[in-house]
Amino acid sequence: MCGGGGGGATITSPNYMQSTGEVLMQMEAMRSQREGVLAPAQLQLNNALQQQGQVLEELQAVKVARANETAANAERLAALIGAPAPEKGAQAPTVADNRAGQQRAPGKAQLRINRASSVRSGTGVGLNIT
């Protein structure tokens, strides 16, 4: 049998503050290393985007200048040549126009449209049973 001897065991808790500090230092070292690699690339990307924006602004200015120049040339040409003559087909028909050269009664009677042939007699008129 065991005599139950021996001294009491001492339990020591780990120093979490020290290990947390070490972890934070390691994370900061990794972050600074990553940022050290990414910072020049990010700077280069930002410069490229800025240059692209400047080129797009210049391109837009050139487009506007060309459009203004084209409009000015069109105005000069229109002033030099003048307005085009109206087309014959663009004229609106007149109401009660006497196209057949027939004399018509004045007033509402002149608006009447005469039929070319009678619908009461002739071929094809009436009840067709097949």
DSSP 74: H
- Chain-centre distance of CA 77, in angstroms? 32
Q: What is the pTM of this model?
A: 0.38
Question: pLDDT per position in the chain (130 positions), as tens?
Answer: 555 556 677 777 777 777 788 888 888 888 888 777 778 888 899 999 999 999 999 999 999 999 999 999 999 998 888 877 878 777 766 655 555 666 666 777 766 666 665 556 666 666 666 6
DSSP characters over 26-60:
HHHHHHHHHHHHHHHHHHHHHHHHHHHHHHHHHHH
